[in-house]
Amino acid sequence: MKTLRIATRKSPLALWQTEHVADELRAAHPGLDVSLVPMSTRGDEVLDRSLAAIGGKGLFLKELELAMLRGEADCAVHSLKDVPMELEPGFALPAILARADYADAFVSNRFENVAALPQGARVGTSSLRRQAQLRALRPDLELVDLRGNVNTRLGKLDAGEYDAIVLACAGLDRLGFGARIRTRMAAPHWLPAPAQGAIAIECRDDDIATRELCAALDDVATRTCVEAERAMNRALHGSCHVPVAAFAQLQGEHLQLEGLVGSSQDGRVVRAHGEGRGDAPECLGLQVAQMLIDQGAGEFIAASHG
């Protein structure tokens, strides 16, 4: 194959990530012609309702997958945290790139961190996971929905709509807004979304040529960690409807996983920590999911489906 066409969403972050993948592919395969196919998705167009309400994270993938099926693109680039736990049948993830900063960012023009916020401060975040962890730390905060791309969210903060916002460090760093981060909210105290900070390439399962080209960008350590995180999330029926957070780290052969499930109703959260081997990340994910269930996470999950 001489050309590779990569489908991408059109947000500045999606385009940055796809350009990054294109550069890495060109470096790995000198002479390969790589081009971008920018597309808009329903997840980008519907901004007035929560993602959960309009059908979940798969909305960001659907149009890109259809383009691959129609033969208009060979592969697509995604933030892995936006990829559903069960891939559409017929698709594969031939590469998961080395993870950037996994952490969430506390961004504010006036305050240094969550603890420094005044009583009743307004904090913007769209994710149930961030809301649940904020509520557990500070039940007094006023949590306000905040959707839209990274640039839009910063604009709303600067317009004075919020005292602070919480979003992913990876997105801010990639777009050159790293200096706006007041606190990088690190594990184990504050946990990210499963696979946050990792970029994945998706292609058709049966497209061996594309799979082989993309495989050059795969980072085994990142894949191991995100498999544990995603297996945990899958076992908890993770979706946009349940606040689930997970973070795994690999040291040599030793894999550790921190997991959290929050109530979407009040400030309760349950946490679990497990350790296992790097060659069995899914086992560890299932083990930590079971520990969370044993501590009562099932009640939160049932409540969020009711």
Q: Cβ of residue 156: shortest distance to ligand PBG, in angstroms? A: 13
Token code pair at residue 22: 């294109």
Q: CB of 106 within 8 A of CB of 89?
A: no
DSSP strand pairing (3-9 vs 33-39): parallel
Q: How many CA atoms lie within 13 A of 288 on its CB side?
A: 32
Q: Cβ of residue 34: shortest distance to ligand PBG, in angstroms? A: 21
Name the residue nearer to ligand PBG (CB basis): 81 or 223: 81
DSSP strand pairing (183-185 vs 199-204): unpaired
The answer to whether 79 contacts ligand PBG (rule: CB under 6 A) is yes
Q: Cβ of residue 168: shortest distance to ligand PBG, in angstroms? A: 4
Q: How many residues lie near ligand PBG (CB under 6 A)?
A: 10
Residues 47-76 that bind ligand PBG (CB under 6 A): none
Residue 152: exposed, middle, or buried by beta-carbon count in 10 A (0-12, 13-18, 19+)?
Answer: middle
The answer to whether 287 contacts ligand PBG (rule: CB under 6 A) is no
The answer to whether 132 contacts ligand PBG (rule: CB under 6 A) is no
The answer to whether 168 contacts ligand PBG (rule: CB under 6 A) is yes
158 is catalytic: no
The answer to whether 43 contacts ligand PBG (rule: CB under 6 A) is no
Token code pair at residue 214: 């993309």
Single out the catalytic residue among 23, 44, 74, 82: 82
CA distance 228 to 231: 5
Q: Cβ of residue 206: shortest distance to ligand PBG, in angstroms? A: 27
Q: Is the peptide bond before 188 cis (omega within 30 degrees of 0)?
A: yes
In the beta sheet, which residues pair with residue 257? 248, 274
Q: Cβ of residue 114: shortest distance to ligand PBG, in angstroms? A: 16
The answer to whether 185 contacts ligand PBG (rule: CB under 6 A) is no
Q: Which residues of 20-32 are buried (b: 16+ CB within 10 A; e: fewer)?
A: bbbebbeeebeee
What one-character-per-residue DSSP string does 163-205 give?
SEEEEEHHHHHHTT-GGG-SEEE-TTTS---TTTT-EEEEEET
The answer to whether 197 contacts ligand PBG (rule: CB under 6 A) is yes
> 64: left (phi > 0), else alpha (psi -120 to 50), else beta?
alpha
Name the residue nearer to ligand PBG (CB basis): 17 or 256: 17
Q: Cβ of residue 305: shortest distance to ligand PBG, in angstroms? A: 21
Q: What angle do CA 93, 94, 96 make, to 5 degrees?
A: 75
Query: Of the candidates 22, 83, 167, 272, which one interacts with ligand PBG according to CB under 6 A?
Result: 167
The answer to whether 171 contacts ligand PBG (rule: CB under 6 A) is yes
Query: Of the candidates 24, 65, 82, 258, which one interacts with ligand PBG according to CB under 6 A?
Result: 82
Name the residue nearer to ligand PBG (CB basis): 77 or 288: 77
The answer to whether 170 contacts ligand PBG (rule: CB under 6 A) is yes
Q: CB of 296 within 8 A of CB of 282?
A: no
The answer to whether 131 contacts ligand PBG (rule: CB under 6 A) is no
* Residue 263: DSSP 8-state: -
- Binding segment for ligand PBG (CB under 6 A), chosen from 69-77, 165-173, 207-215, 247-255, is 165-173
Q: Supply the residues annotated as catalytic.
A: 82
Residues near ligand PBG (CB under 6 A) are 79, 81-82, 150, 167-168, 170-171, 196-197
